[in-house]
Structure 1
Amino acid sequence: MTRRLIACGLLVLASVTACGTRTPDNASQTLPTAPSTPSSTASSSSSAPATDNPGAAAGGVARCGPATLKGEITPTDAGAGNRYGKFVVTNTGSAPCTLNGYSGFQLENGSGAVPTKLERKADPGPATLTLAPGAKASANLHWSVVPAGGEPVEGACQPEPSKVAAIPPNETAPLSVPWTLGPVCSGGRIEISAFYAS
């Protein structure tokens, strides 16, 4: 009887020891994959705010959207068929908001969309701006009034726009901005910079 108990005890001890050696082996196999999952999740979650909401990572400030921005287009210079202007937005909200990047920009008139070819310029490039209530940001614009390609040389080179549908960076809805600066030639080609403080 005593021998049976000792034998059973040895079997139980052997199985516990065997289970104990399996557990560390399994743990060492899963350890390399377990830390990589949280770190990849952390890196994707830390990079997501920089793309989707630049201000969220730096204090939780909301993006400037079409509901809080008022826009205007002001001419700045002209010469040799070139026109220059600024797309200026003002934070009309009661709290600060952030802008980072380029605006969408579609010329329109009473009939709908007017040909627009937007080209982003890197000077100045994107930078996170925090606009206090009443503060402004600007984007530089450049376009031509000289007909190009098959555009007519008599009369307007393109349909004349009366407004712009401008989408703030990282947003999907536009704000409507009046355009009073005539037609845009070269198929509606407009160069635009990123927003900067103004």
Structure 2
Amino acid sequence: MNRRLIACGLLVLASVTACGTRTPDTASQTLPTSTPPSTTETTTSSPTTTPPADSGAVTPAVKRCDSASLQGEVTPTDAGAGNRYGRFVVTNSGGAPCTLNGYSGFQLENASGAVPTKLERKADPGPAALTLRPGGKASANLHWNVVPAGNEPVEGDCQPEPSKAAAIPPDETAALSVPWTLGPVCSGGHIEISAFYAA
């Protein structure tokens, strides 16, 4: 009898254990988290150009001296043994500075037109840039002779006597008229001329 009770008790105990409430395993579920990709915004800065400082002052260009802005004259400087020397002097008669650099053209003339002229450039002094202010002067040296040469007449004038010269400033095309009162120029009108220099 006692053995039956014990066996029955054990049976009941086993049944309770087997039928007991079981707590289900809580499975840890990890949900995928969607992280948006980070967008790196690249800003390209355009190069900044700094404009040059404007001083507000505009320097006007100085124009070349032309026949309209110059007055000319030929002055004697020396004479001897058939040689004659002088200066072709120009004055800036305009109201603004002008530049002069080089040799003048020079053609002897009289009332009948051109008189024979052979111009020879001499490099003493040579060309140099000059700026003539209003009233400023520049000179070119002249040399010629009064001794007949070749088939020129010995008696009387060796060449027709000029009364003026047409002088063209350097790099210009229009001539200014210059009085000539220094008599005929022999050797076919041969004249040596220097470049302009500051007078």
Give structure 2 stretches of 5+ with no counterpart: 1-58
1:59 Cα deviation from its structure 2 partner: 6.7
Question: What corresponds to 1:30 in structure 2?
Answer: none
Query: 4+ runs of 1 displaced by more than 6 Å?
Result: none
TM-score by length of 2: 0.70
Question: What corresponds to 1:87 in structure 2?
Answer: 88
Q: Does 1:150 align with 2:134?
A: no
What is the CA–CA distance in structure 1 between the aligned matches of 2:129 and 2:70, rounded to whole Å? Answer: 16
What is the CA–CA distance in structure 2 between the aligned matches of 1:79 and 1:176, rounded to whole Å? Answer: 27
What is the CA–CA distance in structure 2 between the aligned matches of 1:166 and 1:135, rounded to whole Å? Answer: 18
Equivalent positions of 1:113-152 (< 5 A) are 113-152=114-153
TM-score by length of 1: 0.70
Question: What corresponds to 1:13 in structure 2?
Answer: none
What is the CA–CA distance in structure 1 between the aligned matches of 2:121 and 2:166, rounded to whole Å? Answer: 16
Question: What corresponds to 2:179 in structure 1?
Answer: 178
1:60 Cα deviation from its structure 2 partner: 2.0
What is the CA–CA distance in structure 2 between the aligned matches of 1:81 and 1:153, rounded to whole Å? Answer: 13
1:165 Cα deviation from its structure 2 partner: 0.2
Equivalent positions of 1:5-84 (< 5 A) are 60-84=61-85
Deviations 1:38-91 (A, max 9, x none): xxxxxxxxxxxxxxxxxxxx9721000000000000000000000000000000
Question: What corresponds to 1:167 in structure 2?
Answer: 168
1:190 Cα deviation from its structure 2 partner: 0.1
What is the CA–CA distance in structure 2 between the aligned matches of 1:107 and 1:145, rounded to whole Å? Answer: 15
What is the CA–CA distance in structure 2 between the aligned matches of 1:59 and 1:78, rounded to whole Å? Answer: 44
Identity of aligned residues (%): 83
What is the CA–CA distance in structure 1 between the aligned matches of 2:146 and 2:61, rounded to whole Å? Answer: 43
1:151 Cα deviation from its structure 2 partner: 0.3
Give structure 1 stretches of 5+ with no counterpart: 1-57
Aligned residues: 141
Q: Specify the SS of the correspondent of 2:91.
A: strand
